[in-house]
Amino acid sequence: MQSRRDFPMKSIVVVGAQWGDEGKGKVVDYLAASFDYIARCAGGHNAGHTVIFGNDRFVLQLIPCGILRPGKHAVIGSGVVVDPAALVAELDTLAKSGIDITGRLHLSNRAHLIFPYHRQMEKAAEAARGEAKIGTTSRGIGPTYEDKMARHGIRVGDLLNAGRFREKLERVISDKDAVCRATYGVPLDTEGMAEQYLALGERIRPLIADSSELINDALDAGKSVLFEGAQGTMLDIDFGTYPYVTSSNAIAGGACTGLGVGPTRINGVAGITKAYTTRVGSGPFPTEMPDLEAKELRDRGKEYGAVTGRPRRCGWLDLAELRYAVRINGITTLVVQTINITNGITLVVGTASVPGLSIVTPATIGPWTVNKAFSANSETPDRFRPILPTSLAEMFTLRYR
């Protein structure tokens, strides 16, 4: 494994180079030791990673895992959509484990709030799509971003003023109720919602900040920032396999828009990939394995959703997809995870030809370069080529030159 010295930069983005679940949490947790701030820029509690810290096991969905390390600051940016009940549940878990977050956890006042009606409307919309459903995580993520773009979302900062919050919520609820009845034939269930949200608002009040000011001030003061992306490149709303995507910018550019930081302030982008590919939910997956092989890999890699428990679809490594991810994100370092899982399985790639991309492996293997051109969508039978021996260290890096 490379040492942390290989990431000497002040501000780097960690981004998923595939369809999410590449093990970003593990990398962020590892790198967090060398950074002052760990900041999350997109998505919501549709993401989730499990971190073992000391003797405890944490599933963190909203709070960056850097919070587990004493003295580190964790930031939830304006590009994140926040279900305050989910956030408070995470706060309770941290408190139970004796982790003091005072003055270290910061939540953007501009982040949009997820309400129960978002989940209700998402459920109805997915049911209405039938076979063409996206297979969302049912957390209300899409409808919350819809409201943000339609300019009638309600933000974290609105919780600070009870009167204004009630007024906004009433207006939105009456619009939503009409839409829900007309489109899906069901009324909205909004009983007690304002009071519940205002109570949750009191719990999170001390965390609320201007995340853009916070991060830019930190960088000005010479502090280092690790930007933690959620999901992965191919789930990005603009550059993923649309419409089978999530509703936010999961690519590296999302760090700028999701935290209020200029692109000139970011020094590098670490793309995270598995040694094979997985995806959850519906949508194109060019290197998907037949059932039997997928099952073996799924069982070995425990490839079940951290949030929903759904079995992940499994496939071979897709280098054309990775090349695309390198371009879209401006990836400077690729970290390959889960090599250990493939022990005894012939690891094959779906595609090839990434000019100049070479894999830096442990000394016993030596460098290896991909040199066969192929398109991600091609059905040519020779698309899967065995490429690697099967017992490497758990994690090593690819370098893009």
In this complex, which beta carbon is closest to ligand IMP, that of residue 201 or of residue 271? 271
**Quick one: which of 84, 281, 286, 350 contacts ligand IMP (CB under 6 A)?**
281
Contact with ligand IMP (CB under 6 A): which of 141, 204, 214, 226? Answer: 141
79 binds ligand IMP (CB under 6 A): no
* Among positions 88, 124, 135, 177, the unique one binding ligand IMP when judged by CB under 6 A: 135
Question: Given the rule CB under 6 A, which of 88-96, 187-195, 240-248, 333-341 is the region that contacts ligand IMP?
Answer: 240-248
Around 52, how many Cα atoms within 13 Å sit in the side-chain half-sphere?
1
CB of 252 to ligand IMP, least distance (A): 17
Q: Which amino acid is at 251?
A: I
Given 68, 252, 266, 280, the residue binding ligand IMP (CB under 6 A): 280
Query: How many residues of this chain interact with ligand IMP, rule: CB under 6 A?
Result: 18
Minimum distance, C-beta of residue 88 to ligand IMP, in the bound complex (Å) = 20
Residue 121 touching ligand IMP (CB under 6 A): no
Q: Is 118 noted as a catalytic residue in this protein?
A: no
The distance of closest approach from Cβ of residue 16 to ligand IMP in the complex, given in angstroms and rounded to an integer, is: 8
Q: What is the 3-state secondary structure (H, E, C) of the chain?
A: CCCHHHCCCCEEEEEECCCCCCCHHHHHHHHHCCCCEEEECCECCCCCEEEEECCEEEEECCCCHHHHCCCCEEEECCCEEECHHHHHHHHHHHHHCCCCCCCCEEEECCCEECCHHHHHHHHHHHHHHHHHCCCCCCCCHHHHHHHHHCCCCCEHHHHHCHHHHHHHHHHHHHHHHHHHHHHHCCCCCCCCHHHHHHHHHHHHHHHEECHHHHHHHHHHCCCCEEEECCCCHHHCCCCCCCCCCCCCCCCCCHHHHCCCCCHHHCCEEEEEEECCEEECCCCCCCCECCHHHHHHHHHHHCCECCCCCCECEEECECHHHHHHHHHHHCCCEEEEECHHHHCCCCEEECCCCCCCEEEECCCCCCCEECCCCCCCCCCCHHHCEEEECCCCCCCEEEEEC
In this complex, which beta carbon is closest to ligand IMP, that of residue 313 or of residue 383?
Answer: 313
Contact criterion met (CB below 8 Å) for 19 and 278: yes
Q: Which is nearer to ligand IMP, 274 or 383 (CB)?
A: 274
Shortest approach of ligand IMP to residue 139 CB, angstroms? 5
Q: Is 49 a catalytic residue?
A: yes
Instruction: Please state the closest distance from residue 312 (CB atom) to ligand IMP, in A.
Output: 8
What are 190's strand-pairing partners? none
What part of residues 31-50 is at the interface with ligand IMP (CB under 6 A)?
A: 46-47
Of 21, 36, 147, 236, the active-site residue reads 21
Nearer to ligand IMP, 157 or 271 (CB): 271
Q: For residue 235, state whether it binds ligand IMP (rule: CB under 6 A).
A: yes
Nearest CA to 122 out of 147, 97, 140, 144 is that of 140
CA 276/CA 361 separation, integer angstroms: 16
Task: Establish if 21 lies at the interface with ligand IMP (CB under 6 A).
Answer: yes
For tokens 């670490």, the residue is: 270
Name the one range near ligand IMP by CB under 6 A: 134-142, 259-267, 268-276, 361-369: 134-142
Nearest residue to ligand IMP, scored by beta-carbon proximity: 281
Stretch that binds ligand IMP, among 93-101, 136-144, 221-229, 385-393 (CB under 6 A): 136-144
Task: Check binding of 246 to ligand IMP (CB under 6 A).
Answer: yes
The catalytically annotated residue of 36, 45, 49, 118 is 49
Of the candidate residues 45, 72, 139, 176, the single one contacting ligand IMP (CB under 6 A): 139
28 binds ligand IMP per the rule CB under 6 A? no
Which positions lie near ligand IMP, rule CB under 6 A?
A: 20-21, 46-47, 134-137, 139, 141-142, 231, 235, 244, 246-247, 280-281
Residues labelled as active-site residues: 21, 49
